[in-house]
């Protein structure tokens, strides 16, 4: 219990102190916002900051802070260090900057921002990569929700997949304030109540919470670096979030709300991840039993086991509903984001309903195809691509600050986590069986080499001549 209190206190301090430092890189704040200027009744719709934050939370949450945290807990309490530090210094910075970069550029999508600040040559590779990640997210989340629903109801998976995909279509093509704007704030409250319910159940049932240790407690001895940093994505830093922030950036009434909406939503998600990581370690009395449960029941089964085991019928129902809401309300916005990115790239009008339906249908076909794959396979590949995207977005944010900030040294706030993520993603793909399967020391050495190269390029840009006025985006 003491460990949780300390972690939450650090996260709160990070929000009130570090986010203000980050905000200074964008001062002075500007207006009017794209939501006010465009206000097309489809994607650009002004909404209150509280509604925007809850929508952002539901968009980014998915199963990541639950399933990822439970799988990351196999390394032991050390996972909370990554969740807290990763959020304050990396994930929340990433989310805030992706939202505010979009805000400063008329609500443009992530792929447009990367192309604009990192170079035209990245246009199609990045568009293909990000749309693929979004399709994978939608498939992964639809599949995880389906797996849990099958466990609860015994109704065939094909029925639940069909229902979920129909909802995905409606959410992707209807105006954002008609479905997402109305139900997401309610679901956001349920999501928070669900995590609190689980933790209070553990506390009042007298479970023994784990003590803090940095020791690697993984039952099979898997390395903390880079494996844990890839496994725990959405609870610490996630490239998927960068695809969601522009959607909410199109709904901000005032730029000053961005800190609460983007940075604040990531802090809340980190708290949810903390609760589930500690719940997994506490309920199963350590990493060996937790690992066995994940292997035998899968992540969905473990969630259901914990929820019904500690919270009783009513609390368990609330927890299960919350876990179902998470993936479904991120899968639908993944489809919507993919649709928006393709529209932005091709220059299609937001009210061209025929093109919207064609794009959405094509995305759904790809989602259905990926839903047939094993969930573990989907998660493993999604995790690396997701963190690679986070790395690219952090470098994009660094380029943005270098071009626009009155003090270019603020770019260190994004460059330092970008360097760390560069070492993570390069080391992992060389070391992992998903990639080259090389010796761990070789992979770390290669990752270090690429990180040093990136650091040199960044320092050259930092101390180079400031770009001309026509290059500066306002």
Query: Tell me: the pLDDT tens digits for 284-320?
Result: 999 999 999 999 988 778 888 888 888 877 766 776 7
Residue 428 within any structural domain of the chain: no
> Which of 14, 317, 326 minimizes the C-alpha distance to 191?
326
The two structure tokens encoding residue 413: 């706030």
pLDDT of residue 367: 87
Q: Scanning the structure block, which residue is given the tokens 């994009």?
A: 396
Residue 360 within any structural domain of the chain: yes
Within 8 A by CB and 6+ apart from 303, the residues are 66, 67, 70, 148, 319, 320, 323
pLDDT of residue 369: 82
pLDDT of residue 380: 66
Q: How far apart are CA 258 and CA 262, in angstroms?
A: 6
Q: How far apart are CA 417 and CA 386, in angstroms?
A: 15
Residue 408 within any structural domain of the chain: no
Walking along the chain (474 residues) 10 residues at a time, the average pLDDT comes out as 90 96 91 92 93 90 82 96 97 98 94 92 88 85 78 84 89 88 82 82 87 94 92 90 94 95 96 93 95 88 85 73 76 90 84 85 87 65 86 97 93 98 95 84 94 96 68 42
Residue 185 within any structural domain of the chain: yes
pLDDT of residue 378: 62
Q: Which tens digits make up the pLDDT trace of 230-280?
A: 989 888 999 999 999 999 999 999 999 999 999 999 999 999 999 999 999
pLDDT of residue 374: 65
Residue 436 within any structural domain of the chain: no
pLDDT of residue 377: 63
Residue 107 within any structural domain of the chain: yes
> Which of 354, 330, 351 minimizes the C-alpha distance to 248?
330
Residue 372 within any structural domain of the chain: yes
Q: How many domains, the chain?
A: 1
CATH value at residue 167 = 1.20.1740.10
Torsion, Cα 342 344 350 352, to 10 degrees, reads -50
Residue 442 within any structural domain of the chain: no
pLDDT of residue 470: 42
Domain of residue 67, residue span: 2-387
β-sheet bridge partners, residue 47: 252
Burial class for 287, CB neighbours closer than 10 Å (0-12, 13-18, 19+): buried
pTM above 0.85, yes or no: yes
């Amino acid at each position: 219990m003491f460990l949780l209190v300390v972690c939450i206190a650090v996260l709160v301090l990070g929000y009130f102190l570090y986010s203000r430092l980050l905000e200074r890189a964008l001062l002075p704040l500007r207006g009017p916002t794209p939501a006010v200027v465009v206000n097309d009744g489809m994607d650009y719709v002004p909404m209150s900051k509280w509604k925007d934050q809850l929508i952002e939370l539901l968009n980014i949450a998915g199963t990541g802070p639950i399933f990822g945290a439970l799988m990351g807990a196999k390394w032991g309490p050390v996972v909370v260090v990554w969740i807290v530090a990763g959020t304050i210094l990396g994930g929340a910075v990433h989310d805030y900057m992706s939202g505010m970069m979009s805000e400063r550029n008329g609500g443009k999508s992530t792929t447009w921002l990367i192309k604009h600040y990192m170079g035209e040559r990245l246009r199609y590779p990045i568009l293909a990569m990000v749309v693929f990640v979004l399709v994978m997210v939608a498939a992964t989340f639809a599949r995880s929700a389906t797996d849990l629903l099958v466990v609860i109801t015994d109704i065939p998976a094909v029925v639940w997949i069909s229902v979920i995909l129909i909802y995905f279509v409606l959410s992707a093509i209807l105006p954002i304030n008609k479905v997402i704007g109305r139900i997401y704030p309610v679901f956001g409250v349920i999501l928070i109540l669900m995590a609190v319910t689980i933790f209070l159940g553990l506390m009042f049932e007298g479970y023994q919470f784990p003590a803090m240790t940095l020791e690697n407690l993984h039952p099979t001895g898997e390395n903390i670096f880079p494996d844990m940093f890839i496994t725990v994505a959405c609870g610490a830093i996630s490239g998927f979030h960068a695809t969601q922030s522009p959607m909410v950036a199109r709904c901000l009434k005032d730029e000053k709300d961005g800190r609460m909406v983007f940075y604040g939503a990531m802090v809340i998600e980190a708290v949810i991840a903390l609760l589930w990581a500690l719940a997994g370690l506490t309920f199963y009395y350590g990493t060996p039993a937790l690992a066995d449960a994940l292997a035998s029941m899968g992540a969905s089964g473990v969630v259901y086991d914990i929820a019904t085991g500690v919270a009783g019928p009513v609390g368990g129902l609330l927890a299960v509903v919350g876990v179902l809401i998470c993936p479904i309300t991120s899968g639908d916005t993944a489809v919507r984001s993919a649709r928006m990115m393709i529209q932005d790239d091709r220059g299609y009008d937001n009210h061209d309903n025929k093109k919207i339906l064609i794009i959405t249908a094509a995305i759904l076909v790809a989602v259905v195809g990926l839903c047939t794959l094993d969930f573990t396979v989907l998660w493993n590949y999604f995790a690396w691509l997701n963190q690679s995207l986070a790395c690219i977005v952090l470098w994009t944010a660094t380029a943005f600050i270098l071009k626009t900030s009155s003090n270019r040294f603020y770019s260190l706030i994004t460059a330092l986590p970008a360097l760390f993520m560069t070492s993570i993603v390069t080391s992992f793909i060389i070391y992992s069986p998903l990639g080259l399967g090389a010796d761990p020391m070789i992979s770390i050495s290669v990752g270090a080499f690429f990180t040093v190269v990136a650091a040199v390029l960044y320092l050259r840009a930092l101390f180079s001549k400031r770009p001309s006025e026509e290059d500066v985006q306002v």
